[in-house]
Structure 1
């Protein structure tokens, strides 16, 4: 990490007070305290949603593959038409932020066993070129139930598994750190009230983990 590190922080929860946002904010605050001269970039993918990719994006991607463009600094060479230039205007700042980051922090809740569409839209925009990402990746996650190792719903977890597979398969990031709050629905669902203490313990553990990571 350089002397003036860069943290790119993304939030994707539809809840303004969601636990993924809360734990992520604690991490970001600690990071800024430890790096007073660092650069901090924040994107709220719900308040300022990233557009979905379109056909022009796929055309740029096809040219990148056909011409074997592997240097991110040369992707603009694959932009040939007005529609492609419009698509590139969306991608370029997102990709530049990502590739310049020393740390990537993502706040992400589990929606329907996977990640929110707001985050998936961002992921789709930055998935070219296939390149090595050197940033440390930290995910602050929240889930309504329990999906950890050994739980009955472990096979239904397409949140953590998906993000690990994406960063490993596309950006060659072998280690993604997850700080996860579980059983959030125990706060509102009477049928899960018996698991409320498990949720509270999960929040306490997440906060302790974030503190130790800095």
Structure 2
């Protein structure tokens, strides 16, 4: 059975363009693969832990090879449990809006929590860093209010720190197969917004049918 994890990164549940495109992909994928199990991680439901002093101490204890105390063990177990949802999934689907040229702070918090040595990556003095999320694929639905494409002829494309950041992180933790679904110009009026969403959803359905 295939497990698909949807990491929902926008607090806008009904009007979120990134979520709408991601759900179009998920629905089409489930139609093509009826046994697919879908797990949804809502980053805005208040459940993300803080990376507090105990977690930080556990991080450095692990790097130094020293034993963890009970509070550090508890903090580290929380991070492992959160990352386990990524490890269980075969397909990762992220719905990511662009905020201030980058990603929402809740997604950054999630990345900072789970991207730890021996949780999502390993380090060997001889071979270096290695991601631990192998044999998975990722589909990322990106939403932008303006046109950030190279064809736009505007400086907007020079301020895109959303897609490069997300895809660099995915590859760092071992996910080599990454597909992008981009919906742009969502702030340019209802007709333009609707057309952009429809085009991105059609591409999402085509991608799901081909995978």
TM-score interval, smaller chain: 0.7 to 0.9
Find 2:7's aligned residue among 10, 23, 33.
10
Find 2:98's aligned residue among 84, 103, 110.
110
Structure 1 unaligned segments of length 5 or more: list them.
68-77, 189-195
Tell me the equivalent position of 2:168. 165
Q: Does 1:213 align with 2:207?
A: yes
Tell me the equivalent position of 2:82. 94
Q: Does 1:126 align with 2:126?
A: no
Tell me the equivalent position of 2:157. 154
CA deviations 1:30-66 (Å, max 9, x no partner) are 2222232232211111124412312222222223333
Tell me the equivalent position of 2:178. 176
Separation of aligned partners in 2, 1:79 and 1:91: 17
Equivalenced residues, count: 192
Tell me the equivalent position of 1:191. none
**Relative to 1, partners in 2 of residues 1:62 and 1:213: Cα closer, same or farther, differing over 3 Å?**
same
List structure 1 runs of 4+ shifted beyond 6 angstroms.
none
**Relative to 1, partners in 2 of residues 1:204 and 1:54: Cα closer, same or farther, differing over 3 Å?**
same
TM-score, normalised by the number of residues in structure 2: 0.82
Tell me the equivalent position of 1:204. 198
Q: Does 1:144 align with 2:152?
A: no
Separation of aligned partners in 2, 1:145 and 1:43: 27
RMSD: 2.0
Q: Report how far residue 97 of structure 1 moved.
A: 1.0
Higher mean C-alpha deviation, range 34-43 or range 175-184:
34-43
Separation of aligned partners in 2, 1:11 and 1:79: 35
**Which structure has greater helix proportion?**
1
Separation of aligned partners in 1, 2:206 and 2:53: 44
Separation of aligned partners in 2, 1:105 and 1:148: 22
Give yes or no for contact 1:7–1:103 (8 Å, CA) kept in 2: yes
Q: Report how far residue 88 of structure 1 moved.
A: 2.3
Separation of aligned partners in 2, 1:79 and 1:86: 13
Give yes or no for contact 1:79–1:85 (8 Å, CA) kept in 2: no
Give yes or no for contact 2:17–2:143 (8 Å, CA) kept in 1: yes
Tell me the equivalent position of 1:59. 57
